[in-house]
Amino acid sequence: MAKVLIIDDDQDIIDSLTMILEGNGYAVSVKNDTENLVEDVTSANPDLIILDVIFPEDPQAGFKAARVLNKDPQVGHIPVLLLSALNQLSNLSFGISENDISEDFMPVGAFIEKPVRPKVLLKRIDELLRPEP
């Protein structure tokens, strides 16, 4: 059974994701902030991380967290799925998409907009956990 760590501050999102994931055979753990990130991820030992972008303390916390995780030798191998309503909540004239995935800006395996359809979420998780040869 694959273990998924959800890092998000929105309890409704956490509950929804947990229901979808556990209903499809995943073990779920939760972290509500980006503090002590590497230590908590190491302790949780997930196979995959679902990470929000916007946290109350910093609207860019998820991007920063993805960079920290990616650069750390202990946890940098864990695939990260960035899941955010950033495009809906911001007043920017541009949006963030999977085209923005890069080592410097958004070092993640995938990006999905909230709200996400369960089938889309499960498909992306499967792709991240079982990359093509």
**23-65 per-position pLDDT tens digit:** 999 999 999 999 999 999 999 999 999 999 889 989 889 999 9
- The candidate with the shortest Cα–Cα distance to 9, out of 43, 64, 41, 56, is 56
Q: At what angle do helices 61-71 and 37-44 cross, to 10 degrees?
A: 60
Cα–Cα distance for residue pair 13/114, rounded to 1 Å: 9
Domains and CATH numbers, the chain: 3-129 (3.40.50.2300)
pTM of the model: 0.87
DSSP β-ladder status, 110-113 and 27-31: unpaired
Helix, strand, coil share (%) of the chain residues, nearest 5: 40, 20, 45
